[in-house]
Amino acid sequence: MRSIDDFTRPVEYLSPLDRSLGEILRNWAEKEVIPNRREYDEDWEEHRLIEPAFGRLMAELGLQRVLFPEEVGGWGLGHSDYLGTGSYRMFEEIARADSAMAVAFGVVFWPLIMICNEPHVNMRLCEEFAPMFCETDKAVFCANAMTEPQGGADIENMDLLKGSTIETTAVLDGDQWVINGHKLWPTNSGGVADLFGVVCTTSPGSIDPEDFAFIFVPGDAEGVTQGKPYQKAGMAADKNSDIWFENVRVPSWYRACGPGDDFKYFKEVICLGSMGTVAFVSGAMMNVYEILKGFCEEKTYRGRPLKENDDVAGLLADFVRDLEVIRVIGYQFARMMDRPDLYGDRWSEEMVVKGRAFKYFAADKAVENLGLVMNLMGAHGSDRVRDVEKHWRDLKIAQLWMGGKQLCQMEVARWFFECETL
Amino acid sequence: MADYKALPHWLAVWIEIIGQFRLPSVFFAVCRVIESVRVDYEACSKPFMIVEGEMKYQEIFPVPREWVQDIDEFMAETVTRWAEQEVIAGRLEHAEDYDKLLVPAIRKLFIDIGLQSMLWPEELGGGGLGTPEAAMTVATVLEQVGFADTGIGFLYANSFALQHAFAVEPHRNGELLQELVPVFCGDEVAVGSLVLPGYGSGNPGEGGAFHGLAYQVAAESRNGGWALSGKAVRPQCSGKTAALFAVAFDAGDGEPAVVLLKSDDDGLSSGEPFKKTGLAASLNADLDLKEVEAPGALVILRGEERFREMLSVYYMCCAAICVGSLLATYEILKVWGDTRVIKGKGQEFKENPLVASLMGEAAGGIATSRVLTYNLARMLSRPDIYGPPGSQATYATATVIFKHVTRSAMLSMNNTMELMGSAGYATEWNLERYWRDVKCIENSVIPETAARVDLARHFFGCRTL
Ligand SMILES: Cc1cc2nc3c(=O)[nH]c(=O)nc-3n(C[C@H](O)[C@H](O)[C@H](O)COP(=O)(O)OP(=O)(O)OC[C@H]3O[C@@H](n4cnc5c(N)ncnc54)[C@H](O)[C@@H]3O)c2cc1C
């Protein structure tokens, strides 16, 4: 019988851990998430059902440690050749069950990329923060605080605006940074995050990359306030809220990489976000494939199983065609992250742009395909019991976050066509 | 045909009621977020009026004005005020709360304003609009209801299509009207829900097929009436709360018929409401029918043509709701486009050519959807010009327009959400609610493939499909 494992991946790219990690995560998803996920929408504020599943994944199975170097108790993914493909598999398996959980999990790594990845490992900060993640039996979360009320896309539009619209300020006062500002939307906010990576500026309005600063702030630092989670169309397992930083003081060495390098390596963070988005899409679409296959065998049309009708089969074929393509592209980009020796630096403009192109292609295809699948399912398409509508609601955000589709389009056009005024 | 120029007595009662509807506009919620925007609230209360100085959707998006009669306009205005006072203002506090917001709003609309009995003859306590022209009236009204709440619109679309089959000339059924007076002209809200053919489950007891889709119930002729059975039967809406179900069944040799079942009929039970993407006003639940007996007098229609007519009316109603939701989307996007800044300080959002092109596409979708829906309403309201509403041709047009409007509504809403970034995804901005609601209408009224094949059958003469 065909299954989700029949979708193509470039197998020679995969990490040696791929199979066992995949199995562990699939078991976890089947046991801890899939049976409960239909209740997640009502659990968006409390996370009573969601928290225990995270606890098992991150603390008990230990996956919150994977990025940290072995010397500080981690699994060393950040200096392996499998940062991309290894993470891709994890994100994909989790997203098959719930893409919001995959995001929340992915964002635990997201700011840590700045300090855990070769060649820019900041060992002092790894030592500082590793115990939070590696010496605990509780799930611990990070948040990557970029977006501000006046606009998230502009902050991610680094090539054009170079951080000049960032309003969160960092002022050096002796051996401390003093941070002031208001952020919106970070994944794992709303009271969840234990550690923030905060995008700030040391000189508001400046286009000098040296003024772009990425500074870590513990969630319990004085002056940090996380608001109540927002209610949204989907993604219940990811809490998002306002965060206010009011005269928050952290040691000066909490800056991730330093002047110039924060700006440079932050582009690697963007690339991981794009790759993660493709993985969330392919994981969720794989689950939709499983559901759709069952549905088309159970229901009849013109007296035959739904899938045995030519017109329906045409739509089914389109769906799996797109899923095949998305998955291959996703693993390809993951490989490009793994092998800078072959594909160039993970923080290069070229990688950012290619990641953006793959991200918005996958997100567009997801929204289009899941909408069509719901239409195909007729009166059952919007039924929570079938789970497809949940993936449809969840995946819509994949188009919107990280600056939205139009920012992706502009960056891609600018690079490939060498546009000069956009 | 009714003379709409002479307003009947019950309008005077309405005028008294609507005198109380004087609350802020549909912009209210959005303006709370973007405080800098000032809006002429009074102007928003008049759906078809040209307002000098400020362009509102009412004048921007075209309506074939000569088809809209005074009564239509009057009712749409009434419903606009209901929308503002009963739904939009309350939404700030109650979001989509069924008991606190939606139930009182439905009651006001169905009973106090009287939509529930609109088609009933005046002498039976109704609104006296039982002529085909009611199609245009309901289009204008449902647009306003859909603007406020897609789900409430959907309940009324079902109720209207059900009633239309026996309360509107030339199919007016005096006896049935008389019998159902306590249901529709009383003090209790009575939602009617359609039970249409869908995919089959392959069970042996399943009741025949209509153009490839299976009737959800098996019917047996008994004592001059019918006994209906079916498991996990899915109504279009309100399985838990509807007063009546209009159930399609095979009356022999594949001939479609529709019979009314009351929710308290022996043998009819409903499960718990199931969770779904949207349409919070509809507490939908599957039904179990164990030889539910219905007298022949409750068969409201028989034959393909009558069945197609009911579906055409239903599709038109659903399209009108979606147009209303699109107009709400427009207002949300307008505020966003006027006030947001991208690509650095001082760059007005809507002046960016890329986003402007998407805004333009959304506007185009809204404009064509509105015009098409009014055209369909016109076709249904004037059989003397366009032929019977149940003809193959009208049914095909109704299907085309319903599919076009829902598709372009989803496209416009998807694009709008894209343009609004996370705000579009947040409940606070209301857009995501319309997006979820319209999606439910798009997928649940008729399965996509069946609609396409219906069209091919008509336009290309397919014989075996
Ligand atoms: C579930 C979820 C998780 C999130 N996680 C995080 C997170 O972890 N960290 C974080 O910082 N933020 C996060 N966000 C916020 C998200 O990344 C931002 O909302 C997004 O970047 C867009 O920013 P914005 O909403 O401020 O929209 P805006 O910046 O106002 O952009 C709105 C729209 O304007 C258009 N636009 C913008 N720039 C251009 C341009 N140059 N050219 C043409 N059109 C343009 C696009 O259509 C864009 O979608 C999350 C949001 C959600 C819903």
Q: Which among A206, A226, A259 is the end of a domain? A: A259
Q: Which among A205, A237, A259 is the end of a domain? A: A259
Q: What is the pLDDT of residue B47?
A: 58
Residues A272 and A397 in one domain: yes
Ramachandran angles phi, psi of B422, nearest 5°: -65, -25
Complete domains list, chain B, with CATH: 9-188 (1.10.540.10), 193-302 (2.40.110.10), 304-460 (1.20.140.10)
Torsion of CA B264, B269, B275, B279, to 10 degrees: -30
List A255's β-bridge partners, or say none. A215
**465 residues of chain B, pLDDT tens digit each:** 333 333 444 444 444 444 444 222 222 222 223 333 333 334 444 555 544 555 556 678 989 989 999 999 999 999 999 999 999 999 888 888 999 999 999 999 999 999 999 999 999 999 999 999 999 999 999 999 999 999 999 999 999 999 999 999 999 999 999 999 999 999 999 999 999 999 998 776 676 788 889 999 999 999 999 999 999 999 999 999 999 999 999 999 889 999 999 999 999 999 999 999 999 999 999 999 999 999 999 999 999 999 999 999 999 999 999 999 999 999 999 999 999 999 887 788 999 999 999 999 999 999 999 999 999 999 999 999 999 999 999 999 999 999 999 999 999 999 999 999 999 999 999 999 999 999 999 999 999 889 999 999 999 988 888
Residue ID of nearest Cα to ligand 1 atom 6: A186
The model's confidence at residue A106, banded by pLDDT at 50, 70 and 90, is very high
Residues A266 and A395 in one domain: yes
Please choose, from the candidates A397, A387, A402, A400, the residue with its C-alpha nearest in 3D space to the C-alpha of residue A29: A387
Kindly report the CATH number assigned to the domain that includes residue A300.
1.20.140.10
Kindly report the CATH number assigned to the domain that includes residue A245.
2.40.110.10
Q: Compute the nearest-CA separation of A166 from chain B (Å).
A: 10
Q: What is the DSSP string of B203-250?
A: -TT-EEEETTEEESSEEEEETTEEEEEEEEE--SS-TTT-SEEEEEEE
CB atoms within 10 A of CB B62: 11
CB atoms within 10 A of CB A131: 12
CB atoms within 10 A of CB B40: 13
Residues 247-306 of A with CB under 8 A from B: 298-303, 305-306
Residue with tokens 């870590």: A216
| This prediction's pTM | 0.93
Domain membership of residue A131 (yes or no) is yes
Residue B416: strand, helix, or coil: helix
- The H-or-E segment that residue A333 falls in is helix A310-338
Q: What is the pLDDT of residue B6?
A: 38
Task: Give me the residue from B213, B274, B422 closest to A383, CB to CB.
Answer: B274
Type of residue at B20: Q
A40, A147, A359: which to mutate for ligand 1, most atoms within 8 A of CB?
A: A147
Kindly report the CATH number assigned to the domain that includes residue A103.
1.10.540.10
Residues A252 and A275 in one domain: no
Q: How confident is the model over A208-246, as pLDDT tens digits?
A: 999 999 999 999 999 999 999 999 999 999 999 999 999
Residue B134 makes CB contacts below 8 A (sequence gap 6+) with B118, B119, B164, B168, B381
Domain of A74, in residue numbers: 4-140
- Exposure class string for A335-372: b at 16+ Cβ within 10 A, else e: bbbbebeebeebbbeebbbbbbbbbbbbbbbbbebbbb
Q: Which among A140, A161, A185 is the end of a domain? A: A140
Q: What is the pLDDT of residue B201?
A: 85
Residues A199 and A75 in one domain: no
- A116: tokens are 């855990």
Torsion of CA A101, A107, A113, A114, to 10 degrees: 180
A142, A182, A185, A199: which to mutate for ligand 1, most atoms within 8 A of CB?
A: A185
Residues A177 and A69 in one domain: no
Residue A183: strand, helix, or coil: strand
Strands A195-201 and A142-145: parallel
- A224: tokens are 């940090």
Residues 163-182 of A with CB under 8 A from B: 164-165
Look at chain A and report how many structural domains it folds into.
Answer: 3
Residues A314 and A193 in one domain: no
Residues A281 and A376 in one domain: yes
Give yes or no for residue B340 CB within 6 A of ligand 1. Answer: yes
Interface size between A and B, measured as CB pairs under 8 A: 164
Domain membership of residue A422 (yes or no) is no
Ligand 1 centroid to Cα of residue B26, in Å, is 26
Type of residue at A203: S
Residues A271 and A392 in one domain: yes
**Mean pLDDT, residues A371-377:** 96
Q: What is the pLDDT of residue B137?
A: 97
Give yes or no for residue A157 CB within 6 A of ligand 1. Answer: yes
Report the alpha-carbon distance of residue B447 to residue B399 in Å, rounded. 11
Domain membership of residue A421 (yes or no) is no
Residues 236-255 of A with CB under 8 A from B: 240
- The H-or-E segment that residue A225 falls in is strand A224-226
Residues A49 and A131 in one domain: yes
Residues A406 and A285 in one domain: yes
Q: What is the pLDDT of residue B40?
A: 38
Give yes or no for residue A410 CB within 6 A of ligand 1. Answer: yes
Report H helices in A339-387: 340-343, 349-376
Residues A249 and A368 in one domain: no
Strands B244-250 and B225-233: unpaired
Q: Are B200 and A406 inside 8 Å of each other by CB? A: no
The residue length of chain B stands at 465
Please choose, from the candidates A380, A347, A334, A176, the residue with its C-alpha nearest in 3D space to the C-alpha of residue A261: A347
What ipTM is given for this predicted complex? 0.95
Residues A184 and A86 in one domain: no
Domain membership of residue A286 (yes or no) is yes
Please choose, from the candidates B367, B373, B333, B362, the residue with its C-alpha nearest in 3D space to the C-alpha of residue B350: B333
